[in-house]
Chain A
Amino acid sequence: MLKHLFQTNPTLSLTRASMKIWFRDRQAIFWTFFLPVVLISVFGLLDFGAFRTVDLGMVDLANNDASRKLIGEVRALGTFDISEDLSEDEEREALLDGDRDLVLIIEPGFGEEQSPVRRQVTVVYNQGRAQESAAGQTIIQHVLDGMTFAEGNISERYSIKALPVDSRNLKFIDFLMPGVVAMSIMQMGLFSVAFSFVQLKSRGVLRRLKATPVLPASFIFAQVFIRLTVSILQTLVLVGLAVVAFDVHLEGNLGFMLLLALLGGGVFVSMGFAVSGWARTEDVAAPVANAIALPMMFLSGVFFPRDAMPGPLRAVADFLPLSYLADALRNVAVDGASLWSQWDNVLGLTVWLAITFFIAVRLFRWE
């Protein structure tokens, strides 16, 4: 029954055909999914800007009860990324290479009566990693204090009651992910429509369709439907990847993000139709689509916040459709904003949809 419907209804049949054509196009799949996935993965793995585990090297030259006790306690903390099988020279080398934040050296005689280093250890630290090495020194001092108190048999110590809280630790990937989603939707809508439609036009496929009683609306519907479906898929894949593989905190409602993806998809698909209506061949469509997409990619705050831009440039950048889409997606994803709180971005996108739709209709040509 359903099969019959798909075979006798032009709109359904064309939609199914467009779906097959799209998913058989390896190049389209590459640009639409593979590239943004790589982008998110690279920045997810780099993860710069976050406080890393402190890398500690330990060299035990004393090798006695006291030194083994100290090393045991440090190891038991579990806070450090510890290396303890290398010689002092090798550890200092690693420190110079930037592979350690600090190296703890326990001199011979540590903990032994009469020794000048009876109660002293040496810490060589990386000045370039002030935060990590300071934290490391504080922790080691704390362990030493513990040992001191234990020797003095002081039973009542002042202590901290530590309460863990799950904080929102924003990483660059949190900022980047919604931007990449917005950018991918733009690329897909603009390029896949502009290219494939100009191709269908210049090769005469549209002419062949015009020789049948099919209504233009059926064909356009199929073309738009498949691309909006892909924009939903892109959002799901990229958000899913960021959450599962890179621990991105999705604060907001995924449904809101999908609605924004649809709206943004509509804007960029219309833009693609406008370009393809105007351009006669692929050779013209490509530079035009690039001339639209490239500036937006860098001006719309996909990779970096627009705050850093000079005033006049920013005034323009704020009104770009990709800015509205990236901002709205980011506010929902990162701040957990509701869709209605994003009314200004939604309004901006809607105005752009009206403009691009109007131009697309005006420029549309079958042949």
Chain B
Amino acid sequence: MNQQAEIIQVQDLRKSYGELKAVDGVSFSVSSGEVFGILGPNGAGKTTTVEILEGMRAPDSGSAVINGIDVRKDPRAVKKVIGIQLQSSAFFDRLNLTEILDVMGSLYHREIDAMDLLRDVELDDRANALFKDLSGGQKQRFSVASTLVNDPILLFLDEPTTGLDPQARRHMWALVQRFKSEGRTVLLTTHYMEEAEELCDRVAIMDHGKIVAMDRPAALVESLLSKGFRKEHTEKLANLEDVFLDLTGRELRDE
């Protein structure tokens, strides 16, 4: 595996839809092994940026290099080394989870151990189930498992915990932390600030197609505090989510 110091290099990326500048001059880079978060309100251009990096969408201008490969020149070569979890994933009807993973693996010319991947996301007991019969959290976990069929060096997770209950979200966090410990690079987008704080080595905050801030979460908080910002109420030592998890446990629930 040809691992480079900077696995993602983005230079002045631009993409417009008519008048709307969805991505307006975005530049950043991500080091190998990093968990990098792109935060921002809806419509900030997060997904468009990520889709350009994934080779799913062509930019109007600018460059994106993944693992030394120019995405615009060879999107297929990029797709071979990355794993993409789309915001809403769908799979073939009438194939069970094992069969879907086998097909997904074949798309990378790989013979995979589907049960092994399902065990990784705690879905081995649903191996013969259909995707449509899974719960929301299970669907999301399966979707993550499907991105691992090619043992990617870089994972794109687009809002991986949106719509999940606290238990399922914690489980997803543990998965991301495991990917990091396995040496994979992860780029994720999220709405949840505590998620970014918990998982990301660095975050970029996007708004109106531009990156408005980029640093380690702690450093961003530092610089805000140094500007004299004070919260009106000091943070409690626990919040409602902690109460919820204390009462209902951290075990995964499958509705």
Contact = CB atoms under 8 A, between A and B. Distances in A.
B79 A212 contact: yes
B103 A208 contact: no
A307 B119 CA distance: 66
Nearest to B51: A211
Interface of B: 54, 56, 76-77, 79-80, 84, 86, 88-95, 99, 102-111, 146
A80 B157 CA distance: 81
Given A13-B103, A17-B95, A21-B93, A213 B80 contact: yes
Helix, strand, loop or mixed for chain A's interface? Answer: helix
Contact of A13 (B54, B106, B146): B106
Contact of A208 (B91, B105, B108): B91
Nearest to B75: A213
Nearest to B79: A213
A21 B86 contact: no
A320 B89 CA distance: 40
Interface of A: 4, 6-10, 12-14, 17, 20-21, 24-25, 199-200, 203-205, 207-214
Helix, strand, loop or mixed for chain B's interface? Answer: loop
B87 to A, nearest CB: 9
Contacts of A20: 94-95, 99
A14 B92 CA distance: 11
B17 to A, nearest CB: 15
Nearest to B82: A211
Contacts of B102: 7, 13
Contacts of A209: 107
B94 A7 contact: no
B95 A8 contact: no
Contacts of B107: 10, 13-14, 209, 212-214
Contacts of B106: 6-10, 12-14
Contacts of B99: 17, 20
Contacts of A9: 106, 109
A14 B103 contact: yes
B109 A8 contact: yes
A103 to B, nearest CB: 61
Contact of A7 (B88, B90, B111, B146): B111
A205 B103 contact: no
Which one of A4, A209, A213 has the greatest number of beta carbons of chain B within 10 Å?
Answer: A213
